[in-house]
Amino acid sequence: MAAQSAQAPIAPAAAARGSHYNAGVEAAKSGHIDDAITEFRKAIGDDPRDVQAHHNLAVMLERKGDDDGAIAEFREALGLDPDLQVAHLMLADTLAKKGDLTEAGDEYQRALGLAPNDARANNNFGLLLRRQGNLDGAIEHYRRALAAQPNSYPARVNLGSALFAKNNLQEAADELKAAIALKPDYPTSHDLLANVLFEMKDPSSALEEWKRAARLDGYNADTLVGMSIAQWQLGQKAQAVKSYRTAVLLDRGYVCHPDQLKQHWKDPALAVLSQVNQAAGPTTCSNS
């Protein structure tokens, strides 16, 4: 699943602000995060009620990996301006990243209350709802994101994935094909579409999508296992065993432990995998 990326700091015209604030904006634009943090802190020292300086400092702290510091600064900004929608949204994203799902949900709803058609807020709130097990709510917000921004690749992929989880296979396939049309070089959508097509009892098309995913992401264990499943179903048993053995070499811990496999695959794929595993021989997972 894919979150939509963070927005740049708010940056009004240089002439409208103090020198430290402007220096912070320029440092942020140049990717000099530590310098930007220093300058925004100085700007806040000059004017503790500078909402945009607090917000931009929070953005920089989040980029540096200081989530707690970012959360504190987003809250400072919102204490000064409760209607700063982007701060609610970025606070929600940061809280969700930390696993504070209840507070994150509250902030997403505040952000959406201020801007109901915000594509990023709807998409990322959908991600949170799915983490909470609310697939229907997630689907609703992905659709809202796409109504606002039809070319949103993250929302297309997320909607396709959620529809697949709901077993709405044809709709899922349609959304994932639309995502691929937007970003043909992203392996995630090819891999997801392959899973959907396999469930639709089309192993030939599934195999082609897994092959595309494998070429794009360097033949990782997931895609190779998918290829082995489709190949076995198509009667290409020697190729299936070869793909499976290569997957084992890449990631023994994933392939050789049934509990981990069940986190990635479900029947009928698991039943096919069992047959491939037996054909690959008892030494496949030795020393794993």
Read off the pLDDT of residues 19-60 as tens digits, 9 standing for 90 and up: 899 999 999 999 999 999 999 999 999 999 999 999 999 999
Determine contact, residues 38/52, Cβ cutoff 8 Å.
no
110 confidence band (pLDDT: 50, 70, 90): very high
Query: Above pLDDT 70, what percent of the chain?
Result: 92
Flag whether pLDDT at 217 surpasses 90. Answer: no
Rg (C-alpha) for the chain, rounded Å, is: 23
Q: How high is the mean pLDDT of the chain?
A: 91
Q: Taking residues 110-137, what's their average pLDDT?
A: 97
The sign of the CA dihedral 127, 128, 134, 137 is negative
How far, CA to CA in Å, does 217 sit from each of 77, 172, 245, 279?
40, 22, 18, 27
Map out the domains of the chain with their CATH numbers: 19-98 (1.25.40.10), 216-288 (no CATH)
Is the CB of residue 104 less than 8 Å from the CB of residue 73? no
pLDDT score, position 268: 85
Phi-psi category of residue 3: left, alpha or beta, with phi > 0 → left and psi -120 to 50 → alpha:
beta
**pLDDT > 80? residue 154:** yes
The answer to whether residue 96 scores a pLDDT higher than 70 is yes
Single-letter code of the amino acid located at 235: G
pLDDT at 251 over 50: yes
What's this model's pTM, rounded to 2 decimal places?
0.88
Q: What is the pLDDT of residue 191?
A: 94
Instruction: Output the pLDDT for position 288.
Output: 47
Of the listed ranges 13-17, 69-73, 110-114, the least confidently predicted one is: 13-17
The answer for 129, left when phi > 0, alpha when psi is -120 to 50, beta otherwise, is alpha
